[in-house]
Structure 1
Amino acid sequence: MSAPTSGTTPYYYVPGVSHHPIWAAAGLFFVVLGAGNWVNGHSWGMWSFGFGLAWWAVVLYQWLRDAARESEAGLFGRKIDLSYRWSMSWFIFSEVMFFGAFFTALWWARAHSIPALGSLDNSLLWPEFKAAWPSISPGATTSPAGTVEPFETVGPFWLPTINTALLLSSGVTLTIAHHALRAGQRAKTVGWMWLTVLLGLVFLCVQAYEYHHLYTELNLKLSSGVYGSTFYLLTGFHGFHVFVGMVMLLVITLRLQRGHFSAQRHFGFEGAAWYWHFVDVVWLFLYVLVYWL
């Protein structure tokens, strides 16, 4: 049943034909196209990236607006709620596998690839190669052919540690907001949600400052061998996920201010909270494996 009868919630609501998925895919196409060319030195990539991001944001706003209207119209019953919960669970599981692949690449490079290249079997191909991670000393690299410019590595102090404190604090404020919502304290919920969004924004600003410092002062770039590529892939993709999670929380906060959700029915809030806590946990692994080890 796809439409309510006599003012009751349908058993299972099926929305009409939507143009949102295809337009969102088109926006992301320009984002990926622009980002790929931007990092490879093509100046027009920056404009393609910005255009695609703006396009995607407009489509996302319209999509979320329609979904919120359907929810507030009472069209989402128990089956839809269950469907959303399973969908969010599988989405987060796919993200776990996504980051798991990058963490595995980092481990494989450190534990297998570099020792193998420095073994006797490869001594004729790479006679001057030293199997050290990531460099033999600050300001030097193990690149025997000089293909990797000298760079300095990154430690946990102080910016990464500050960001760790920010994310952990945001997890606490989000949990407080959740308990306030379940207690029916909407004003308190909104206040703690805005604080959570602010902490996420500060995290991104600190990471942007860190990237500028690494590029300009430590000469650490994507081209800085496997260390640079894995560092920026892990931290960069995590930063993107923080941005997406912050957008989720912002949308939920604005909906709370409009009177959406109740103490009994608020999976939109819970789904965003699941994702944010996932982002927190990934950062803890990243903080230890990338910055400390």
Structure 2
Amino acid sequence: MSTASNLRNAQTRPDEANVTELDVRGLPTFAFGHRSVMWWSTAGLMLIEGTVFGIAVMMYFYLRTHAPAWPMAASAPELRWGTLNTVVLLASMLPNQLAKRAAERFDRGRAKLWMTVCLIATIVFMVLRGFEFATLNVNWYTNAYGSVVWLLLGLHTTHLVTDFIDTAVLTVLLFTGPFEGKRFVDVSENAVYWYFVVLSWLPIYGVIYWAPRF
């Protein structure tokens, strides 16, 4: 009985001599682009947040179609600060791209330089954003127009602050260390997210500053 059982086990058990073992110790522990889990996480985040922006914009035009006048009991926001901020944002895409390239070349020195420039640009933008809020010519509680305008500007400011914190942390790590290789991936994906912050602002800028003028 024992001999028959052993024969059955030998027939059903895979031939261990033919099993190939792979030594993966030398493979990289991180990657850039779509091969990275961080890239997919960032893409998913941008998709969700882009949807929220889209809903807010639709809300703006929905309210506009039901209002007797637009903007409601208010003047259109001043163009000066919003336009200047748009120029700053578009200009910041250059150092952002240079920081991304440096990270993907594992050039820590260049990454430090351009991340610092990006951080300064973000600070300048946030200061100008304060002037934007001050010149909307309407409070958030005044009427539906004021509420939706403050909502749009507030949503984008939230993303700006989030990216500022992320950029600041990565910049500090670049200067102080220890700096693991996978942090270069974080720098690269942070640059991708900044593109989202910039490009998502352009339609919001048009809605806030130009839609009331037409």
TM-score range, shorter chain: 0.7 to 0.9
> Is this contact kept in 2: 1:9–1:77, CA < 8 A?
no
Give the whole-Å Cα distance in 2 for the aligned partners of 1:233 and 1:180. Answer: 36
Match of 1:247 among 165, 170, 190: 165
TM-score (norm 2): 0.76
1: CA distance, partners of 2:97 / 2:53:
24
CA 1:87–1:233: 2 relative to 1, 3 Å: same
Q: Which residue of 2 aligns with 1:212?
A: 134
The unaligned stretches of length 5 or more in structure 1 are 1-5, 11-73, 115-130, 136-140, 142-150
Query: Whose RCO is larger (CA < 8 A, sep 6+)?
Result: 2
Output one character per residue of 1:177-212: Cα deviation in whole Å (capped at 9) or x when no partner. 222333443222211111111111111111113323
1:283 is aligned, of 198, 201, 211, to 201
Cα pair 1:197 1:249 within 8 Å, conserved = yes
Which residue, out of 125, 128, 132, partners 1:203? Answer: 125
Radius of gyration: which is bigger?
2
Q: Which residue is equivalent to 1:53?
A: none
Q: State the identity %.
A: 25
Number of residue equivalences: 186
- The counterpart of 1:113, out of the listed 63, 66, 72, is 66
SS at match of 2:36: helix
- Cα deviation digits, residues 115-145 of structure 1 (max 9, x gap): xxxxxxxxxxxxxxxx22114xxxxx2xxxx
Residue 94 (1) aligns with residue 17 (2):
no
Deviations 1:11-43 (A, max 9, x none): xxxxxxxxxxxxxxxxxxxxxxxxxxxxxxxxx
Q: CA deviation at 1:282?
A: 1.1
Extract unaligned runs of 5+ from structure 2: 1-22
| Distance verdict in 2 for CA 1:192–1:82, change over 3 Å | closer
The structure-2 alpha-carbon separation of the partners of 1:84 and 1:178, relative to structure 1 and needing over 3 Å to count, comes to: closer
Q: Which residue in the other structure is 1:232 paired with?
A: 150
1:62 aligned partner: none
User: Runs of 4 or more off by more than 6 Å in structure 1?
Assistant: none
Deviations 1:76-134 (A, max 9, x none): 556xx633222221111100111111011012122x323xxxxxxxxxxxxxxxx2211
Q: Which SS does the other structure have where 1:152 is aligned?
A: coil
1:134 equivalent to 2:52? Answer no
Cα deviation digits, residues 31-69 of structure 1 (max 9, x gap): xxxxxxxxxxxxxxxxxxxxxxxxxxxxxxxxxxxxxxx
**Greater per-residue helix proportion:** 2
